[in-house]
Structure 1
């Protein structure tokens, strides 16, 4: 799942949405905090400048009167003032004593103090000012409202962040579903072509985006595939016809010659020529069948077949050949299994596997059938020497013949045909160890 491109895309959208929401919340918090600080500094600066003007106009007496007015009946809401003389003694204001944490003049700071007559400490933004006569003035404003606003913003952020998490997940899911939905039609077209419908195409949506361009490219490739498959079908059909005719005529000529020849040596040579002609005819037929199966030609001939009954028919056909070699051929199919298959090609593939077992194997031959809800497995097993695992690829290669099998006179197409037929049915062919012997299993999908 972690390697899925859709999952990675959804995760990227989720992270970007979450980071964007978190960045927005943090940016708003920083902007609000900075604005509150600027407002507090501006309030303190205006108050400081007013008191300095009062000192310039009336000296110490003038600034005392101004402090008394601002902290008395004409109190300015939220004002913090304290005037001390050069010895640090309190002269006026609404603070009882100079806070020890405020030591630098002209430097703004935030402290929490009690105003005179109040029992609750309050957060304040204050600045110390030294007057020309040596007095010191503490000017400030209450910032409790600003802190409440910040706490409210933090609380809102605590609610907004989970909502951002939910919406980010929703956006990621919608984005992933959109991509998957846009890919469903191309995948459906490709699957239809793989199933044999060469005329399937990706519908045009007119959006002209990247996925629409992909659909156009896929349609172009599918049209090319359909053209090549049509040409291949014509070529293989023509080749089969062109080869069958001269081979058939050659066999007829050889049969006539065999009937007319009286010399035993010549008759024996003609019989061998007839045998080789039959072998050549079968080889050509098998090679063409492999080519057509690998090209997907023949799916239109699929019919529903009971594989258990089919195995019984094949075993009945090959049983006399097995008896001639003093060997047995049995079927191990315990249940009825109906599957759509190309009956002729599947029978030919199983027949080739039985023929291989008769040529190169030993002991009893068993045709097995196992099925579940998803697939069905057809097995041809014997008790011979088998094929080493290292040689499996060689055995499945077209015209691949193992050294120990050369005395059988085979062309090396039996396993190749069986594998091609399995692929035609969207299945697989596996070579296994029958302990001892070889077990060849064709696995086909139920649908």
Structure 2
């Protein structure tokens, strides 16, 4: 699964995004507002200065506006003012600029330029505008904004540094928030994992906070209590079923045995033999179904005991060797010298026997029993060289009472692979049906249970 599909990742990303957006608004917003306000104030000052000079020009013409400019410049009435008057051809008449700024269109809005004023060595940022007077002369007015721009630049640099730091803090906040949630869920997850592995008495520790996680833990505990009650009821039901079915089946088998001994009509003998065969099959089906039900319910984990899996495979191969040889085939074991694990010996023997029976009925070639050690347990593989099972039908083959078309010639009830899967679940593992190229390989993964208290 891709990490960005994870709810935890998306929650962390959402916290991170909200933190960054909030920091950007709080840090960059004031800087943008100050820049906009500073620009508006500078333009307002320049407009006032321009209007005063135009009033002087309207009253006394070019001499009056020249005197007004000289007065403002010489007396420094406006220390940040930009004043310049030029002839129609651009020649300087008066002001605190040395020449007419290039590319300054008369009547255009105030533009930001960086020019030196008379008596100043360094260029300064200024907002200026030019106006063409009635006689063709050009009036340039404006205001110096160098100090304001330096302050705003410093503020923006500080805001960017703070924003960069906020990215680190937002990532830390996202990490901490997700870890808090995962830590709150850890008890419930650990409890469910233990229950899955067979420790049905585990419960989520009591939580008095009353939040959503406490409610989740309470619901998990109630569900586990209900499951434990149902498991106890199932155990009672299966025990009763075993007693109720096996007893009449045993009596029926005994009656058929006596009938077979006293039958005198040769024509009736085949029917009695068939009844005996069907009774054996019925007994096997009941025993297998009960074993599957109990294994899936976790019954039998208390019977796990240390066993040498290598020796177990050798024993299975030795038992089935005569039947394999009768078919002109071979059975081999590929396993380390010894590998000990706690397993349910009887059920594992039965599961492996079912797999070998299947290879004898439906497989071909050499039967290979393999044992592969793993970090947390071991894997037992039973493989043959027959036609195998098509990939799209392997899941169906693991269901109860399922008989594939290739197996319809046999007399099984379709419980062999279901029992194998139930035994694997009893040992905390899984069953995989794989292509042996050619043939079918059934891999039973067994997980080493935790040591008993």
* TM-score of the pair, normalised by structure 1: 0.82
Which whole-Å CA distance do the structure 2 matches of 1:6 and 1:12 have between them? Answer: 10
2:369 corresponds to which residue? 367
Counterparts of 1:389 and 1:62 in 2: how far apart (Å)? 102
Does the Cα contact within 8 Å between 2:314 and 2:333 map onto a contact in 1? Answer: yes
The question of whether the paired residues in 2 share the 8 Å contact of 1:373 and 1:446 is answered with no
Task: Find the counterpart in structure 1 of residue 167 from structure 2.
Answer: 165
Give the aligned partner of residue 9 of structure 1: 11
1:150 corresponding residue in structure 2:
152
Query: C-alpha offsets along residues 251-295 of structure 1, whole Å, 9 cap, x if unaligned?
Result: 344445556x26364677555544433332221010111122233
What's 1:263 paired with? 264
Compute the displacement of 1:374 (Å).
4.4
The structural deviation recorded for 1:103 is 4.9
**CA 1:90 to 1:199, structure 2 compared with 1: closer, same or farther past 3 Å?**
same
Change over 3 Å in CA distance of 1:169–1:335 after alignment to 2: farther
Match of 2:425 in 1: 423
CA distance in 2, matches of 1:134, 1:435: 99
SS of the counterpart of 2:97? coil
Q: In structure 1, how many angstroms separate the alpha carbons of the residues matched to 2:207 and 2:157?
A: 47
1:25-424 equivalences in 2 (<5 Å): 25-45=27-47, 47=49, 67-82=69-84, 92-99=94-101, 101-104=103-106, 107-127=109-129, 138-203=140-205, 205-256=207-258, 261=262, 263=264, 265=266, 270=272, 272-322=274-324, 328-384=330-386, 386-389=388-391, 391-424=393-426
CA deviation digits over 1:34-58, x for unaligned, max 9? Answer: 1221332344355556667888999
Q: Secondary structure at the match of 1:376?
A: strand
- Once the two structures are superposed, what CA deviation does each residue of 1:319-363 show, in whole Å capped at 9, x if it has no partner? 455456665544221242223322221111112222333444455
Q: CA, structure 1 residues 421+146, in 2 after alignment: closer, same or farther (shift >3 Å)?
A: same
Structure 1 vs Structure 2 CA RMSD: 3.8
Deviation digits for residues 199-255 of structure 1 (CA, Å, limit 9, x no counterpart): 433445455555444444444443433333232222212211211222233334444
Give per-residue Cα distances to partners, 1:146-200, cap 9 Å, x unaligned. Answer: 1212332343344334323323332332233233323322322221221123343
- Provide the rounded CA distance (Å) in 2 between the counterparts of 1:194 and 1:238: 26
Hey, what's the Cα distance between the residues in 2 that align with 1:398 and 1:412?
6
1:28 alignment partner, SS class: helix
Distance (Å, rounded) in 2 between the aligned partners of 1:99 and 1:230: 97
Deviation at 1:12, TM superposition (A): 3.5
Q: What is the CA deviation profile of residues 383-420 of structure 1, one whole-angstrom value per residue up to 9, with x for unaligned ones?
A: 55544555544543322234554454322222221122
Count of aligned pairs: 446
The range that moved more, 300-309 or 383-392, is 383-392
1:101-132 Cα deviation digits (max 9, x unpaired): 55545954433333223333222223557899
User: What secondary structure, in the 3-state scheme, does the structure 2 residue paired with 1:2 have?
Assistant: helix
Q: Mean Cα displacement is larger for which, 209-218 or 27-36?
A: 209-218
Structure 1's 55 and 403: CA in aligned 2 closer, same or farther, altered over 3 A? closer
Unaligned runs of 5+ in 1: none
* Structure 1 counterpart of 2:444: 442
TM-score by length of structure 2 reads: 0.81
Q: Cα 1:402–1:121, aligned 2, differ >3 Å: closer, same or farther?
A: closer
Question: For 1:6 and 1:63, how far apart are their aligned partners in 2?
Answer: 72
* Cα distance, 1:99–1:370 mapped onto 2, change above 3 Å: closer
C-alpha change, 1:421 and 1:57, in structure 2 (3 Å) is same
Q: Secondary structure at the match of 2:432?
A: strand
Q: Point out where structure 2 has 5 or more consecutive residues left out of the alignment.
A: none
Q: Is the contact made by 2:28 and 2:156 (CA closer than 8 Å) also made in structure 1?
A: no
What is the CA–CA distance in structure 1 between the aligned matches of 2:192 and 2:308, rounded to whole Å? 29
Q: Secondary structure at the match of 1:378?
A: strand
Preserved contact between residue 125 and residue 145 of structure 2 (Cα < 8 Å): yes
Contact residue 341 and residue 377 of structure 2 kept, 8 A: no
Question: Are the structure 2 counterparts of residues 89 and 255 from structure 1 closer, same or farther at C-alpha, using a change threshold of 3 Å?
Answer: closer
For residues 168 and 421 of structure 2, the distance between their equivalents in structure 1, rounded to whole angstroms, comes to 51
Q: 1:255 to 1:145 in 2, by over 3 A?
A: same
State how far apart, in whole Å, the 1-side matches of 2:84 and 2:437 are: 102
Secondary structure of the 1:366 match is strand
Tell me if structure 2 keeps the 8 A contact 1:13–1:171. yes
**Which one is further off, 402-411 or 339-348?**
402-411
